[in-house]
Structure 1
Amino acid sequence: MVFPDGRRVPLSLRRAEILALLDSRRRGWSAMELAYEVYGETGAASTIRIEMHRIRAAASGLVESNPYRLTDAAHGTSDASRVVRSMRNGQLAEALDAYSAPLLSRSAAFAIESLRVELSDAVGTAVRASGSAELIKRWCATDMGSTDERAVHVLGRLLGPRDAGYLSFRARSERLDREFGL
């Protein structure tokens, strides 16, 4: 976690998941809801309360309770929120700058996986719809866009089937398809 003053506090994956969920819903979450979203059927509200106590100690003044939610000052400050805000403002280049890695890629929590897919789909759709070959190339060069066959197809239409940039992304897409069946 990076604070506005530049101070950094390392987070465990679980705490990062909780903060991502808090940032995803302004109205907040009950301890039981968070427990289910983070731990699944085996989640206990008491475990979330312990994690929230530790998060609040590390991020003093940024998290409220009953329900658990980020303060107005903290809400929307995550990397994922910056990506979404840039897209909503029509600033796709800035969104791609802010979207340097998949959202909590090590997380297997279903709610985080859903947020990760939603974010990737939104960026990919916006970039493909932009009609900008440069933005599509940038997208295809990211981990998130490397398997976006639709983006490669749009790039081919924009640049032509003999363009070296298009051909390199097409070759990568075909290789990934062969290796992983994507």
Structure 2
Amino acid sequence: MGEVGLRTVRDGQRVLRFQAAVIGAATSQRGSSPRWSELVVYRMVDGHYLISKIGRSTVAHQPTCLRVNHRMVPWSKAAAFGEDSVQRVPCPDCRPELGHGIAPDTMLEVTRYRAILCQTAESAAESLMGDRAALLMPQIVQTVLAQCSESDPNFSRYAEADTALPRAWENTTRTP
């Protein structure tokens, strides 16, 4: 297990501080992809687990783009959300002008923070895997689960993706 220390994690706008060790961490960031995820699993000193899920994006949109949604913020408010220092790339659909300064009404995809407190390793693994079949688990989840299994014996059954979840027929078929 990693070194126990004071950790700071965001959950939406809330900032959480706690003593814990990092037992698994991975990112899906590859090359120049404008969107990626980051996962960190902490084992807290009280034995509980905390999962930090961060969704990052550098994409900017014209205000009329069909991809704009309620979670985005206009460039004019980017500083209030800590999004003003992110190097932006244009949406491939609407292609806003970003070269000579960003227009105040340009809409920005923002970083999303989520923290999930889990009582057990099993509930932490279930939270990471969701209801996906083992073969459909994203590589980032497989990587984090493998790291957790190396650091914490409570995760040992999740070391291999193909054994992490029972197959559907195993839940419903009985053998004599």
* Same fold by TM-score greater than 0.5: no
Higher strand share: 2
Q: Which has the higher contact order (CA 8 A, sep 6+)?
A: 2
Structure 1 length normalisation: TM-score? Answer: 0.30
Higher helix share: 1
Structure 2 length normalisation: TM-score? Answer: 0.31
